[in-house]
Structure 1
Amino acid sequence: MFSVADVDVTLGISGNRDLLLAALVYLLHNAFKFTHAHTEVSLGAYAEGDHVLLDVEDNCGGLPPGTTTSIFQPLVQVGDNRSGLGLGLSIARRNVEADGGC
């Protein structure tokens, strides 16, 4: 199941559409890949100060302790499912940072 929270219609961002869309697709793909069967992946967007934050939430059970920084490095994989190359989260992060995000 996939749900998208209501978004304030005045919320907007400017940036490289292709880079930011690719980053979002990588995050969503990762969430769908690791969430437990018959659970929900959700997407939300909201403003915090001068930033727009996107939340992608899944039900994977959480990350192993100490891996939250390393998962954004190229070729790093921490789950049992190693069907990908370990590049998606790294590319997503670089795309956002290349467009001035954090």
Structure 2
Amino acid sequence: MNWIFLIIAGLFEIGFTSSLGKAKESTGSTMYLWYGVFVFCLFASMFLLMKALKTIPLGTAYGVWTGIGAVGTVIVGILVFKEVASFWRLFFIFTLIGSIIGLKMVSN
């Protein structure tokens, strides 16, 4: 169950980083709405990470959490914010995904 908490925490990390990008593009009340989404996702992510740490080693949990957030944020950046999807950028994202899977496989 704690691995599920960790994965959901990583998804909320994608939410809080992506909402900062949307807030940067917005003005007025829409900007504050995106900052509200940021705060909600931040607290949800930290709470779920804290729950996952009850049984998952700190180094593994943090690596997986940040990896999910990093990969997801790059994907959102490419799809939503029209960032460049170069060969090397995608190559290193897939390397990061392999590392996340490796951490899961070697953890108890």
TM-score for both structures, normalised by structure 1: 0.43
Give TM-score scaled by structure 2 length: 0.41
- Structure with a larger share of its residues in strand: 1
Which one has a bigger Cα radius of gyration?
2
